[in-house]
């Protein structure tokens, strides 16, 4: 699990888009937190995230339900990221039971932090896959089509927020 230098997916476009977004903007974070809270509630999962997948880490500009070091760091090294899989493929990534999943069973988020299930869908802004909107659970779970549709609705809303935010920042810098 060491190294952390995965080939950046889709460079340069998605990193150029990411670079235009101030992920620390308080109003942006507040809006992304609200969407995360709503998604967690609708899917009945304890944690929902807006994860932006960078080159060697993922960061969470929006979240609901995180505790402990994950809440403190608001991110993880890329090696521990579930979301990077959705970013690399541009498709939903679902792990109903992480403990029997060949790719994730050794992930410390599973073995130590108790993540037992995951579902994430890509967040796409201006054609670039920036990250995912996802839920984490502490129990194994089969995600339904309706669950994924709800995640996609959230991801679409997040894409809209980020896209509008990026445009507004661009207008400000040009003005």
Partner 1 sequence: MADRNVNPQPSAPAYELEEPTLATARAALEGFFGQHTQDLWLTLLFDAGLTGAETDPKALHRLIAVMQVSHPIARLCARSLAVRVAVHDRLVRTEKR
Q: Which residues bind partner 1 (CB under 8 A)?
A: 1-5, 7-8, 11-12, 15-16, 18-20, 23, 46-47, 54-59, 65-73, 75-79, 108, 111-115, 136, 138
Give, rounded to a whole angstrom, the gap between the first and last alpha carbons of the chain: 45
Are residues 58 and 81 in contact, defined by beta-carbon separation less than 8 angstroms? yes
User: Closest distance between partner 1 and the C-beta of residue 118, in Å?
Assistant: 12
User: Closest distance between partner 1 and the C-beta of residue 86, in Å?
Assistant: 18
Nearer residue to partner 1 within complex by CB, 129 or 136 = 136
Nearer residue to partner 1 within complex by CB, 54 or 157 = 54
Are residues 116 and 140 in contact, defined by beta-carbon separation less than 8 angstroms? yes
Nearer residue to partner 1 within complex by CB, 77 or 156 = 77
Q: Where are the beta strands (DSSP E) in 1-103?
A: 47-53, 57-64, 75-77, 93-95
User: Closest distance between partner 1 and the C-beta of residue 114, in Å?
Assistant: 5
Nearer residue to partner 1 within complex by CB, 127 or 173 = 173
User: Closest distance between partner 1 and the C-beta of residue 41, in Å?
Assistant: 16
User: Closest distance between partner 1 and the C-beta of residue 164, in Å?
Assistant: 19
Task: Give me the residues paired with residue 77 across strands.
Answer: 57
Query: Which residues does 153 contact at the CB level (< 8 Å), separation at least 6?
Result: none
Distance separating alpha carbons of residues 147 and 154, to the nearest angstrom: 11
Nearer residue to partner 1 within complex by CB, 122 or 137 = 137
Q: Considering Cα of 94, then 95, then 96, then 101, what sign does the dihedral take?
A: positive
């Amino acid at each position: 699990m060491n190294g952390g230098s995965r080939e950046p997916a889709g460079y340069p476009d998605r990193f150029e888009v990411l670079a235009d977004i101030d992920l620390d903007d308080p109003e942006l974070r507040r809006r992304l937190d609200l969407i995360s809270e709503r998604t967690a509630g609708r899917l009945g999962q304890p944690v929902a995230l807006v994860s932006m997948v960078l080159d060697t880490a993922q960061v969470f500009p929006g979240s609901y339900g995180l505790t402990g070091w994950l809440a403190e760091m608001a991110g993880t090294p890329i090696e521990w990221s579930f979301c990077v899989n959705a970013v690399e493929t541009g498709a939903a990534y679902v792990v109903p039971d992480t403990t029997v999943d060949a790719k994730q069973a050794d992930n410390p988020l599973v073995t130590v932090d108790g993540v037992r299930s995951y579902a994430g869908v890509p967040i796409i802004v201006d054609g670039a896959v920036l990250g995912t909107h996802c839920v984490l659970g502490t129990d194994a779970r089969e995600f339904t089509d309706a669950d994924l549709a709800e995640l996609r609705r959230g991801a679409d809303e997040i894409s809209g927020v980020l896209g509008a935010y990026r445009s507004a920042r661009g207008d400000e810098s040009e003005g």
